[in-house]
Amino acid sequence: MFRSFPIHTLNQPTELSGMWTFQAEGREPIQVYVPSAWETYPGYESYRGKAVYSRDVLCTEETRFVFEGVSHTADVYLDDQLLAHHYNAFTAFEAIATGLEPGIHRLSVHVSNEFNEESALHTENDYYSFGGITRPCFMEELDSLYVQSLHLTPVREDDAWALDIEAVIRNVSEEPQTFYLEAEADFLEETTRISEPQELAAGTSVTICRKVAAAGAETYSPDHPKLYEVAVYICDPNPDEIPEDADAESYSSIYDDRVERVGCRTIEVKGSKILYNGKELQIRGFNRHEYHPAFGCAIPPQIMDTDLNLFLDLGANAVRTSHYPQDPLFLDLCDEKGIMVWEENHARGFREDKMRNPHFEDQCEDVIREMVRDDYNHPSIIIWGLLNECASETEYGRGCYEKQFALLKSLDHSRPTSFASCKHFNDICLDLPDIVSYNIYPGWYDFQGSETAEVQLQKLLDWVQTTPGAGKPFLITEIGAGGVYGYRNPNMDKWTEDNQAETLAKQIPAVLNNPAVSGIFVWQFCDVRVTRSWAMMRPRQMNNKGIVDEYRRPKLAYYTVKKLYHELAK
């Protein structure tokens, strides 16, 4: 299962989950299950290098393959033909083959998880970059025209909902094709034509925009996560004229269809508040990395569900997808369970020298484009974030923030934007986002001597009011402490569960009781593996600030946060 709802009403895609041949450079081939991280295969636990995944697939003349995540660089071949090249583990990409001889072909994916100059974003870091086809992949038969993307934007007009539909249609054939579009949804009385017939030249795409009334649609909220499926059909305007080369019996007057889900809600920034459906929002969340010792970053649906059930038990209402776009199925589950999402592009903790990598800008911008393209419709996503803890204190860094915020806004102006800063009193980018956000660790990594969490936070808030960030909503995007599961002592020593729980017991009220703060994301939900160069700062070569360990076993801090999140909920 790669999504929690069917993405087509007509021809369902064929999932490519299952056994593939895997061969790492210089090693014997083995059979492995896809999706998976290769670090979970015996003998590959710390393998950093190249490998090829391959299997046979049954193709029609025009076949589209979709990979939701390959970590971190992929070259996709069908037989000997290169179909696609993609960098970044955390966004999807397609590979299209046209003019094929129908029948069995060999699909191969050349994968690398190497750290080198070509890879500006997957580097040694405080989380692990795995290798492999780590998210689901599928294939579908194409018929000249297909829906490349479908964005649905609910808008509130005169006390009723309307829906802006924006569909990108692509012609992969070598002939011009004529089509019109229809839309179908529960809140539409009947199937509605949303474009007039038009011709699309061979090999080109077109964007079609249309607003439809959705008067009967109920409002979505975390307490009432009402979702609607919206289908768009690419129709043949001359269905009676069956093309000469078509098989009359199987000829369909619909080229393609696509289903997306929508939830009708508003999210906006007004002065120093974040308003959700017009009401002031308090965020009580966790940062979550995709990690489990048995699966690496290839988290199965059951564990996604477990994680979100723990969030609900904890009284949390939000997740920050630190530090990259997460699996689309996880976002579907957030939509369904009413958990709000801060989704961010992939970039963690790069100082200026790393931001000057010649690939940095392009790679960040690709992630932003792909993230918005694919995750736009999730009502759970309420904030877009970017460039966590990068060089927002330098002029060069500022240039990157500026460009990336401009790009993000050009792709979506329906959601507020932010970035998580750790530059305390030196940040020079606070004019750029809609929301000012800081990562602080009072009592763990103090930035103001041994002052209390209240005082450290207040000093920061006071300083922000002297900058262009004044008057904007303010979030704490990280706060927390390390605690190794099972390590207990009464001395309150660092890395004990006791110390972690006590530190969070001071931090959380300091944040949630401060009326100038719109919310908090605790760092972090579960312990995660980190790369070797971080090991000296990270016992067990793990980031141990999870309130559950990597197996989701609760630490003392779990109960502390749970109590506070329930008590301080507004």
User: Could you list the residues that contact ligand ADA (CB under 6 A)?
Assistant: 126, 348-349, 388-389, 422, 439, 478, 523, 543, 545
Nearer to ligand ADA, 135 or 545 (CB): 545
Q: Which is nearer to ligand ADA, 133 or 530 (CB)?
A: 530
User: In this structure, what are the phi and psi dihedrals at residue 454, rounded to the nearest 5 degrees?
Assistant: -60, -45
What SS3 class is residue 124? coil
* Closest alpha carbon to 388 in 370, 359, 367: 367
Name 313's Cβ contacts closer than 8 Å, sequence gap at least 6.
Answer: 562
Tokens in use for 7? 């993405």
- Least Cβ distance, residue 286 to ligand ADA (angstroms): 13
For residue 547, how many other CB atoms are within 10 A of its CB? 29
CB of 549 to ligand ADA, least distance (A): 15
302 φ/ψ angles, rounded to the nearest 5 degrees: -60, -35
Kindly tell me which of 44 and 523 has the beta carbon lying closer to ligand ADA.
Answer: 523
Contact yes or no for 252/143 (Cβ under 8 A): yes
**What are the distances in angstroms from CA 78 to CA 58, 97, 148?**
11, 8, 21
Distances (CA, A) of 132 to 137, 310, 456: 12, 28, 43
| SS3 track for 493-527 | CCECHHHHHHHHHHHHHHHHCCCCCCEEEECCCEC
Give the CA distances from residue 138 to residues 53, 63, 74, 221, 488, in Å, rounded to whole numbers and listed in that order.
14, 11, 15, 31, 47
Other residues' Cβ atoms within 10 Å of the Cβ of residue 519: 24
Query: Based on CB atoms, which residue is closest to ligand ADA, 90 or 146?
Result: 90
Is the backbone peptide bond immediately before 110 cis, with ω within 30 degrees of 0?
no
Between 439 and 560, CB nearer to ligand ADA: 439
Of the pair 251, 445, the CB lying nearest ligand ADA is at 445
Q: Which of 416, 387, 399, 543 is CA-nearest to residue 475?
A: 416
For the bound state, the minimum distance from the C-beta of residue 548 to ligand ADA, rounded and expressed in Å, comes to 15
Nearer to ligand ADA, 327 or 527 (CB): 527
> In the complex, what is the shortest distance from the CB of residue 386 to ligand ADA, in angstroms, rounded to a whole number?
13
- C-beta of 543: minimal distance to ligand ADA in Å? 5
Q: How far is CA 404 from CA 229, 386, 397, 412, in A?
A: 31, 8, 11, 12
The residue (of 139 and 422) whose beta carbon lies closer to ligand ADA is 422
Query: For residues 503 and 483, what is the distance between their CA atoms, to the nearest angstrom?
Result: 10
Nearest distance from residue 531's CB to ligand ADA, in Å?
12
Nearer to ligand ADA, 68 or 478 (CB): 478
Tokens of 222: 């975390």
Cα atoms found within 13 Å of the Cα of residue 250, Cβ hemisphere only: 5
Residues near 168 by Cβ (< 8 Å), separated by ≥ 6? 147, 148, 149, 150, 205, 206, 207, 208
The least distance separating ligand ADA from the CB of residue 438, rounded to whole angstroms, comes to 10
What distance in Å separates the CA atoms of residue 40 and residue 335, rounded to the nearest whole number? 30
Q: Name the amino acid, one letter, at 521.
A: F
- Which C-beta is closer to ligand ADA: that of 78 or that of 283? 283
Minimal distance, residue 422 CB to ligand ADA, in Å: 6
Question: With respect to ligand ADA, which residue has the nearer C-beta, 39 or 126?
Answer: 126
Nearer to ligand ADA, 134 or 524 (CB): 524
Residues 6+ apart with CB under 8 A from 179: 145, 169, 197, 198, 200, 234, 235, 236, 237, 255
**CA 467 to chain CA centroid, nearest Å:** 30
We find the least distance from the C-beta atom of residue 389 to ligand ADA, in angstroms, to be 5
Question: Chain centroid to CA 46: how far?
Answer: 25
Considering beta carbons, is residue 349 or 539 the nearer one to ligand ADA?
A: 349
CB of 478 to ligand ADA, least distance (A): 5
**CB 451 → ligand ADA: shortest distance, Å?**
19
CA-nearest of 532, 563, 528 to 546 is 528
**Shortest gap between Cβ of 480 and ligand ADA (angstroms)?**
7
Closer residue to ligand ADA, CB minimum distance, 149 or 388: 388
Positive or negative torsion for Cα 316, 318, 323, 324: positive
**Cis link prior to 72 (omega < 30° from 0)?**
yes
Residue nearest to ligand ADA according to CB distances in the complex = 126
